[in-house]
Structure 1
C-alpha cells in the first residue's frame, strides 16, 4: 500500500471496507435507473407522477397526511422550524448542542430565518424530559434527532420519547423529528416508522444515509404544514426543474434496503462485541442501538494512523476511513454497517481485530 495515501484513500483501497454499502460512484445512479422506462415523464418544478407518487408513498410509510420531497435535509429542516415558528409567532426553538443545524449548517437557521436556538442537555448526553420541562424560555418547536449521531447514535427509551411528546402537546410545543436515520432505529424500538412518527408533528427522513441513494429528503406532516413547506421550498430554490434522478434512486434503494435494517443492526452488535474485546478500544454505545456506532481508541490520532495502515495492508480489511481527535491521548471514528459487511469473511475480521488488539497493547 502506498505510504503517501491518506487514511481515507487507504480505506477505500482495502478489499473489505467495514462501513457502508459500497463506493459512492456513478454506478449508484446507473443501477437505480436500469429498471425504469425511458419514456417516463420527469417531474417538473415539484409536479408530475414520478414525484407525486413517491411523496404519497412516503406519507403512507410515515403515517402522515402528506409528504414533500426535498433535494436536501438541510433545506427541509430549516423550513420545518420556520413554519412552526411563524405559526406560533415566536422565533425560538430548542435542540441538542450537537444538532446538525447547530454544527454543520453555517448558522443557516439563524442567518436565513433569524430563529434563536436554545441548546438543551450536555453535549455528551441525550435530551431528557427533565431538560424540556425545566426550560426557562418559551419555544415554538423542539427538535429531537433519532438516533443522536454525534454521540454514537444513542437513543432514549421509548417511554421517555412518549413522555416528551405528551408534554409538548400539553404545552403547545411542536415536536419535530430529525429522522435522517429513522429506518435504522426501527429494529431497536420494535416499532413501525408510522408508530414513531405519530409522536411528532413533523418528520424529516434522508435517502442517502442508511438507504444509500444519491441524495434527497422527505418532509412530512399534515396537509397545511406540507402546503406551506412547498412555498418555502420554492423560496429556497429547492424546486429544481427536475429532481427525478434523486427521487428514482431514493425509491429504488429504499425498496432494496428498508427490510435489511434488522440484519444491519444485528451485524453492528456483532461487530461491537469484537471491537470491545480489543485492548484500549471501545464502542459507543457499548451495545449499539442501530446499525451505526462510534469506535473510540485510547491512543492519539497521529499514533494510530500508521497502525491502521499496517493492518489494512496485512489483512485487506478497512476498519475506518478517518479519525477525529478527542484530545491528546484519544481519537474516534464512526462505523455504519450496510451491505458490505455480509460479504466480509469472518476470518478477515478476526485477523484484523486481533492485530489491532496486539498493536494497541504494545502502545498502551
Structure 2
C-alpha cells in the first residue's frame, strides 16, 4: 500500500498534468470522479438509448458492446470481460482443453509474464515458454524451430514492453502459419490492436481473424472506464462465458463501462490513424530536439513508431528526469513527458513511454523541439 508521501506525490503529478495547457495526451485516469461521471452522462445518449433498462449479468448495453466488437473484429461472437487479465486466462484455458496441451508460447516481456503475477500458472494451470527473448516479436523460424511442443501461440500486438513494436504484415502471416504447422492455435493479445491498422495496412476484420481468438481492451486506447472482450468462434465464446462466471467475472451491472466502451468505438477508434501518423512527427522532432539540446545520447524507439505510442531512452537517472518533467509541467504548463523508469534499463539509463492522442495533434515539430529544450534545461 502506498504511503502518504507516495500518495501526495501522485496527487501533485495529477494536479500538474491536469493544469497543463499543452499535453501530448490526457489519460482518463487523470480526471476527477465528478468530471468523468458528468462527461459519461452527457455523451452516452449519443451511442445508446438511455431509456433502455440497465444490464443484469450481461444483456442490454453489454450485449451491444459484444455485438459491435465481434463485427469490427470479424468474428462470429464476443464476450465482455471486466479485465483483459481474466479474458486471456479464460481464452488460453479453453484452448488448452481443446488442444490437450496447457503450454502457451509467448514473449518473455508480454503482459502475462511481466504484469500479472504469474496468473497463467497460479490460477489457470498453464505453463509458458518463450520462442525468443530478443526485444522484438518472434519470427516464423523461431516458432518452427522451438524445441518443445506448445498448444497455443500468444502474440501481443503491439509488444508494448519492447517498445510497442509490430512485425510486418507478411511476417505476422508467416508466424501464424508456422504455429499452425505445429498444430498450435493462435491467440492475439490485442490490448492495443485497435491502432495496428495503419502499420499493417489492413482493416481490423482482416487482421484479427488471422488468429483463432483475440482479446481487445477498451480503456487502453479507446478511453473507456474499463472492460475488454474476447472474440472468437461461437463455441469457444460460449465456453468462455462459463469460465467467466467461475472466475468471478459475471458482474451484476456494467453499464458505465459498457457505455464508455461504445463511446470509444464511436469517437476514438476512427481517430487512431491520425494519432499514429502524428506520432511519427513527434518522434522525429524529439530526436532532433535532443541533438539540439546537446544530450550526449538518446534513443527514440522505434525510430518511426509503429503505433501512436513509443519509447524514449535517456542517459540519466529516473529521479532527475521525473523531477524535470514535473517541474516543466508546473512551471510552464507544458507536459512533454510523464513518468520515467529504470526497469530493464542499463545502469544510468531511464525510459519513458510517449503517447500521442487528440491533444498531441496540435503540436508542431517546432513545439516539440522547444519543449525538449525546456525539459533538458531542467534536468541539470
TM-score, normalising length: structure 1:
0.91
**Worse-matched range after superposition: 225-234 or 238-247:** 238-247
Structure 2: tracts of 5 or more residues without a match: 1-7
Displacement after TM superposition at 1:15 (Å)? 2.6
Unaligned runs of 5+ in 1: none
Matching residue of 1:267: 278
Q: Does 1:334 align with 2:353?
A: yes
2:181 is aligned, of 158, 167, 170, to 170
Query: Counterpart of 2:130?
Result: 119
Coordinate RMSD, CA, aligned: 2.1
| Superimposed CA distance per residue, residues 175-196 of structure 1 (whole angstroms, 9 cap, x where no aligned partner) | 0001111111111211101111
Paired residues for 1:253-264 under 5 Å: 253-264=264-275
Secondary structure of the 1:247 match is helix
Instruction: Give the one of 317, 341, 362 matched to 1:324.
Output: 341
Q: Which has the higher contact order (CA 8 A, sep 6+)?
A: 1
SS in 1 for 2:123: helix
1:303 and 1:60 map into 2 onto residues whose CA distance is: 47
Q: Deviations over 1:319-350 (max 9, x none)?
A: 22211012331101111111221345776534
Deviation at 1:248, TM superposition (A): 0.9
Between the aligned partners of 2:150 and 2:299, the Cα distance in structure 1 is: 38
- Determine helix, strand or coil for the equivalent of 2:210: coil
Residue of 57, 81, 98 corresponding to 1:70: 81
The range that moved more, 311-320 or 249-258, is 311-320
- Comparing 164-173 with 54-63, greater Cα deviation is found at 164-173
In 2, the alpha carbon distance for the partners of 1:253 and 1:307 equals 33
Matches within 5 A, 1:175-214: 175-214=186-225
Q: Determine whether 1:236 maps to 2:247.
A: yes
CA contact (8 A) 2:81 2:87 kept: yes
1:17 corresponds to which of 20, 23, 36: 23
> Closer, same or farther in 2 for the Cα pair 1:63/1:303, shift >3 Å?
same
The 8 Å contact of residues 106 and 153 in structure 2, kept in 1 or not, is answered as yes
- Is 1:31 aligned to residue 34 of structure 2? no
Structure 2 counterpart of 1:305: 322
User: Hey, what's the Cα distance between the residues in 2 that align with 1:226 and 1:249?
Assistant: 23
Q: Distance in 1 between matches of 2:331 and 2:40?
A: 35
The CA distance in 2 between the partners of 1:33 and 1:168, in whole Å, is 45
CA distance in 2, matches of 1:120, 1:168: 11
After TM superposition, give the deviation of residue 313 of structure 1 in Å.
4.0
Deviations 1:61-100 (A, max 9, x none): 1000111111110000010000010111211111000111
1:328 is paired with a residue whose SS is coil
Question: In the superposition, relative to structure 1, how do residues 86 and 138 fare at CA in structure 2: closer, same or farther (>3 Å)?
Answer: same
- Of 57-66 and 297-306, more deviation after overlay is shown by 297-306
**Equivalent position to 2:169, from 154, 158, 176:** 158
Using the TM superposition, give the Cα deviation of residue 38 of structure 1 relative to its aligned residue in structure 2, in angstroms: 4.0
Structure 2 CA distance for partners of 1:282 and 1:238, relative to 1, 3 Å: same
Further displaced range: 212-221 or 52-61: 52-61
1:205-251 Cα distance to aligned partner (Å, 9 max, x none): 00001101000001000011100000000001111111111111101
Q: Of the candidates 95, 119, 133, which is equivalent to residue 106 of structure 2? A: 95
